[in-house]
Amino acid sequence: MKIESLLEDLDSDDATRAEAAAAELAVRADTVVPELLRGVAELRGSALQSVVRALRHIGPPAFDAVLDACRRGEVPGWQAGRLLDVFDERSADQYAALAADPDYGRSGHGFSGLIRLRVDTEAGVRALVGTFGRGGVIPYKASDYARLFHDSMRPRLRDLRRDPSASPRTRRGAMAALVAGGGADALDDRDRAVIERLIRVKIPHEIPNLPDSTLSGWWMAVPGASYEGVFEALGLHDRRPVTVSAGVQASEGREITVPGPDGKDRCVGRAFVTPELDGWRLVLGSFEQLVGDFWDGMIETVERVSLHCGQAQFFFLDDAGGSDIWIVAENGRVIRQYVAENDPEWEGDPLPWETLAADDPDFAPEYDEAPANAGTTGARSACAHLSVDPGEVGPQTEASGHGWLAVTAPGIGHGAFPGTLRI
């Protein structure tokens, strides 16, 4: 029987015909699969769906054939994931072997399959440990897999971490997998002490480097002398010393959803308070969790923080949307704000460092017309006058103290957040 006929029978509403076609495809896998994959790069729509269904029914032999075709470059990258993501539990060991592949993309496909099938096996644990032990860029699906089975894998990973016969690479990988699955809270007391000691050693020698605000970004600045008030003002909990690189990475990470006191789910994020930089501390983190509403939230937040810290500055940039905002508040009240989306708008008296259009020596009020605040600079320039320009933070910046990583709700800890942190 021709392959075309088998594919038609496979799609038949007649269960007997469909089962017979599936059985015949499996028997003839050695010849059928190469034929199915021939020209698969050009297939779309229903034609591709027919091939996918056939591969799924054939199972493990088709898995190996698809993988070989991917390695030979006969399957486009966008189709590789589609074809490798169709197999069932019969291919669980193949997915685990693929997860251990040193190639970033293929490893990700392997972990994706293990997650989809919800397979926790020793082979999966070995693949996870090997992936983290190699270092470098880790497929994000590996971290997802570590989190999915963290509770069941944690005892085995801790045993590997303490196994004297395991290689240093394996022990290192087990530790990284523990952190990926449950954060630093997943480590035992001994390893937590090691991490904390390493952080303390690295902090004094770190050259701070903050994200550039190109395209978009937001941050707050508070005086270094009174920054402690920011934790109460923003409702931050469980603060821990952290390097700048780890703090920045965490502040850009994903939020998590946890049950709230009322039983309803709530989102929780992380915030990073930098070391003191030229006399100021910057606050980075989730806009939704720390600020909330786009405009009212900004005003309310900066005023609240200034009430606790004496002064607070808020900066928001979105080049794509055309937003350029900076706000200064003192003792609970906004004293100056600049908002540019279409036409710039100002409130409050100009600050001493501002150079307005009317201050230009060539400005003649009897002939020239200009709004009172024309020439007020945007956030990228204002931040340098007001406090610290994040894009200019580097070796020349006078840094003191250390940064803090905190969470936006009590009783959560740091263990549930996805991903690993640079130390």
When comparing pLDDT for 369 and 305, which is higher? 305
- Over 60: is that where the pLDDT of 371 sits? no
**Rounded mean pLDDT of 102-114?**
94
Which of the given ranges, 21-30, 50-59, 272-281, has the highest pLDDT on average? 272-281
Pairwise pLDDT comparison (142 vs 345), residue with the higher score: 142
Average confidence score pLDDT of the chain? 85
User: Lowest-pLDDT range, 24-28, 339-343, 388-392?
Assistant: 24-28
Would you list the domain boundaries of the chain? 3-198, 208-407
Say whether pLDDT at 30 is over 50. yes
Say what the pTM is: 0.73
91-107 mean pLDDT = 94
Residue 397 has a pLDDT of 95
In 3D space, the residue among 244, 240, 261 whose CA is nearest the CA of residue 417 turns out to be 240
Using one digit for the tens of pLDDT, what is the confidence trace for 173-209? 999 999 888 887 788 899 988 888 888 899 988 999 9
Q: Please list the alpha-helical segments (H only) found in 12-118.
A: 15-27, 29-37, 45-58, 60-71, 77-84, 92-99, 104-117
pLDDT tens for each residue of 296-346: 999 999 999 999 999 999 999 988 777 899 999 999 999 999 998 766 788
- pLDDT for 1 beyond 50: no
Q: Quick one: which of 272, 288, 221 has its CA closest to 414?
A: 272
As a whole number, mean pLDDT of residues 89-98 equals: 95
Per-residue model confidence as pLDDT tens digits over 268-284: 999 999 999 999 999 99
Q: What is the pLDDT of residue 224?
A: 97
Average pLDDT over every residue of 111-132: 95
Helix/strand/coil (H/E/C) assignment for every residue in 246-307:
HHHHHHCCCCEEEECCCCCEEEECEEEECCEECCEEEEEECHHHHCCCCCHHHHHHHHHHHH
Q: For residue 67, with 0-12 CB atoms within 10 Å meaning exposed, 13-18 middle and 19 or more buried, which class applies?
A: buried
Lowest mean pLDDT among 86-90, 96-100, 347-351: 347-351
CA distances from 135 to 162, 196, 252 (A): 19, 20, 21
In the block, residue with structure tokens 């903050």: 210
Q: Class of 3-198 per CATH?
A: mainly alpha
Render pLDDT for 221-249 as a digit per residue (tens, 0 to 9).
Answer: 999 999 999 999 999 999 999 999 999 99
Residue with tokens 């690993």: 420
Q: What is the pLDDT of residue 196?
A: 86
